Amino acid sequence: MFHGARVRSAYLASRSMAFPERRQEQIPALWRIHPQPHEGESMESWIIRQAHANFLSPTTFAARYLDKPWRDFDFLVESDPEFGVLARCIAEGGDRASQMTFLSFRRTSGMNKKGLLSWTSPASDARRYCPLCLSTKSPFLRLIWRLTFAPICHDHNVLLRSTCGNVECQAEFHPWRMNPIHEIVKCGRCGSSLSNAPTDEVETIEPAYAASSSLLALLKGARTLEDIGWESDVTELFRTLEFLITCQRMVRRAKHKSNDSPDRHGLELGLRGAPHLAYELLGEAWLLLQDWPERIQPFIRANQRVLNPIIWRLTHNIVRWKPSSDVEGARVSPLAQLVHNLGLRTQEAKYRSSGQRVLRLLAQTGNPLSPTEIADRLSLNRHTIRRKLQELLTKGLVVRRQHSYALRRPCSLIAFADLNRVASTT
């Protein structure tokens, strides 16, 4: 009898395609089976369960009833037409539907859509899941599992997974691509149950666990910035944390010089990569965030050569920020204050003075130097040194010898005063 209801639902849905003007009014009647959402479930997970209950694939269900083959439904807003269609099938209405999207986090935390997008996995990425949560009677996917800074399940204290637990399969978990014969708890390739996948436990005293718990509570409105010990706003908190994670990625990537390293591709993805790498990066960045900026300053100084490119982009992005403000009660950007304290200048200032510094270094050493050696001695970006050397070579101030550069005239024949005057015009 249940199978007959599914077939009848699919038949009525196909008949509705001939009457598109009636589709909006007849959706509750044609959409025969309406499983209600669970607490904490994402809109994407609920649509997948709706499609499977009506014996349809998620893409077919979305194209038939929502006029779109598929989109990122977790970012729906109240003005979207799909939001109104889905809210009509929920007993609580629009308020319950908004809790299933990132719209609820935007309201409680004050972050904009662009800020949340940088901390969520894209629609094309594999979804993360907790095998223990999927072993319940009615499994579903939680909204917080899409947040990149939440690679753990706080209910069971285990790392989330994004691949099949079958050793011979190891397929990525894409629930919206699954056929209706496969439930949301099964792998779309081999059909094995995801609830039987192995799990890795985590300790609640670890920094990554504290970071994930604090950030989630902050987004839900359960904690404030004062509780975390942050003096600026929530946007600057996530911006600073993103900067620290990028620094950790660059330092780790410098250690894995071989392209065949298994962790190199994961470091390129950052928090979007494997859950265990995301967990480690988040914990290391959270430790640097504590006691700001006492811990980050020696870290940057110790890894200045590796972090030169990110410092370059950072100073370029905050060129209009002021390290201090004359307005009483105005908050200062922590990153801008860090740049000011470390004496890191903006991109324009560093580039203008780099020509003079290169000529001084070549005059003092008297030996040809490669662009990498010049960049290391001057603590500058090697790409900028190459561009500046090309300008000096065009003006006839330096000469190239294979892969090294030297002054065109001996150092004894050129005075430092003339050298400064010539370099200032470059």
Asked whether residue 218 is assigned to any structural domain, the reply reads no
Are both 158 and 262 inside the same structural domain?
A: no
Are both 188 and 70 inside the same structural domain?
A: yes
Are both 362 and 246 inside the same structural domain?
A: no
Is pLDDT at 417 greater than 70 in this prediction?
no
**Domain region containing 270:** 227-336
pTM comes to 0.69
CATH of the domain at 385: 1.10.10.10
Percent of the chain with pLDDT over 90: 11
* One-character DSSP codes across 248-262: HHHHHHHH--STT-T
Are both 70 and 170 inside the same structural domain?
A: yes
Is pLDDT at 3 greater than 60 in this prediction?
no
Final residue of a domain: which of 196, 217, 252? Answer: 196
Pick from 172-186, 226-240, 261-275, 404-418: least confident: 404-418
Asked whether residue 267 is assigned to any structural domain, the reply reads yes
Neighbours of 402 (CB within 10 A): 7
Can you state the percent helix, strand and coil of the chain, rounding each to 5?
A: 55, 5, 40
pLDDT in tens, 212-229: 999 999 888 888 888 888
pLDDT in tens, 87-124: 888 877 778 888 889 888 887 777 777 777 778 888 88
Asked whether residue 70 is assigned to any structural domain, the reply reads yes
Are both 246 and 303 inside the same structural domain?
A: yes
- How many residues are recorded in the chain? 426
Is pLDDT at 320 greater than 50 in this prediction?
no
Are both 332 and 368 inside the same structural domain?
A: no
Model confidence at 344, pLDDT cuts 50, 70, 90, reads low
Is pLDDT at 272 greater than 80 in this prediction?
no
Asked whether residue 140 is assigned to any structural domain, the reply reads yes
Compute and round to an integer the Cα radius of gyration of the chain: 28
Cα separation values, 24 from 17, 145, 410, Å: 11, 31, 83
The amino acid occupying position 114 is K
Final residue of a domain: which of 146, 179, 196? Answer: 196
Are both 167 and 117 inside the same structural domain?
A: yes
Asked whether residue 257 is assigned to any structural domain, the reply reads yes
Model confidence at 131, pLDDT cuts 50, 70, 90, reads very high
pLDDT (average), residues 5-32: 46
Is pLDDT at 265 greater than 60 in this prediction?
no
Which token pair is 106?
């935007």
pLDDT (average), residues 156-170: 90
Are both 23 and 159 inside the same structural domain?
A: yes
Final residue of a domain: which of 144, 175, 196? Answer: 196
Pick from 82-91, 121-130, 290-299, 332-341: least confident: 332-341
Are both 192 and 329 inside the same structural domain?
A: no
pLDDT (average), residues 140-149: 91
- Backbone dihedral angles phi then psi of residue 88, each to the nearest 5 degrees: -70, -20
Helix (H) or strand (E) run with residue 153 in it = strand 152-153
Asked whether residue 216 is assigned to any structural domain, the reply reads no
Pick from 163-167, 169-173, 395-399: least confident: 395-399
What is the pLDDT at residue 412? 37
Helix (H) or strand (E) run with residue 46 in it = helix 43-53
Asked whether residue 214 is assigned to any structural domain, the reply reads no
Are both 232 and 325 inside the same structural domain?
A: yes
Helix (H) or strand (E) run with residue 279 in it = helix 275-289
What is the pLDDT at residue 31? 66
Asked whether residue 379 is assigned to any structural domain, the reply reads yes
Is pLDDT at 350 greater than 60 in this prediction?
no
Give the separation between CA 32 and CA 2, rounded to whole angstroms.
11
Are both 181 and 77 inside the same structural domain?
A: yes
The secondary structure of residue 190, as a DSSP letter, is T
pLDDT (average), residues 319-332: 44
Pick from 1-10, 152-161, 359-368, 394-403: least confident: 1-10
Give the separation between CA 374 and CA 376, rounded to whole angstroms.
5
Are both 320 and 358 inside the same structural domain?
A: no
Most confident of 143-147, 181-185, 324-328: 143-147
SS3 45: helix
What is the pLDDT at residue 397? 84
Tokens 């986090």 -> residue: 105
Overall number of domains in the chain? 3
